[in-house]
Amino acid sequence: GENVEQHPSTLSVQEGDSAVIKCTYSDSASNYFPWYKQELGKGPQLIIDIRSNVGEKKDQRIAVTLNKTAKHFSLHITETQPEDSAVYFCAANAGGTSYGKLTFGQGTILTVHP
């Protein structure tokens, strides 16, 4: 089955700096890669996603890049703010008929210091 590895497990940055989180996946049939942000006491919330026919996608201060050949994708957050502090998860869909099943990475705890 699909395996998703996420790094780093913790990331600490100063406000205004950029943050990058990287993930690799194993299933070459995967074609959908969402990123989630989880705040304390809440469920994971989708912040951006990318499909395999696109190499990069941006939404204001966040962007995601995808390298299908190398089977890795990354989340980039620019001009970080304290409210960006949260746990971030990457995910990849399972190939074939999986009814939307996702495999999640282990999560990255991002801390943005004012």
Partner 1 sequence: DAGVIQSPRHEVTEMGQEVTLRCKPISGHNSLFWYRQTMMRGLELLIYFNNNVPIDDSGMPEDRFSAKMPNASFSTLKIQPSEPRDSAVYFCASSAFTVLSNQPQHFGDGTRLSIL
Catalog residues that contact partner 1 under the rule CB under 8 A: 31-32, 34, 36, 41-46, 49, 51, 89, 93, 97, 99-104, 106-107
Give me the least distance between CB of 114 and partner 1, in Å please.
26
Minimum CB distance to partner 1 smaller for 80 or for 88: 88
Q: How far is CA 46 from CA 26, 36, 53, in A?
A: 22, 4, 20
Q: How far is the CB of 55 from partner 1 (least distance, A)?
A: 18
Nearest Cα neighbor of 61 from 50, 48, 72 is 48
Least separation in angstroms between residue 79's CB and partner 1 is 25
Give the span between the Cα atoms of 86 and 36, in whole angstroms.
10
- Return the number of the residue (68 or 101) whose C-beta is nearest partner 1: 101
Residue with smaller CB distance to partner 1, 96 or 114: 96
d(CA 7, CA 74): 10
State the pairing for strand pair 72-77/4-7.
Answer: unpaired
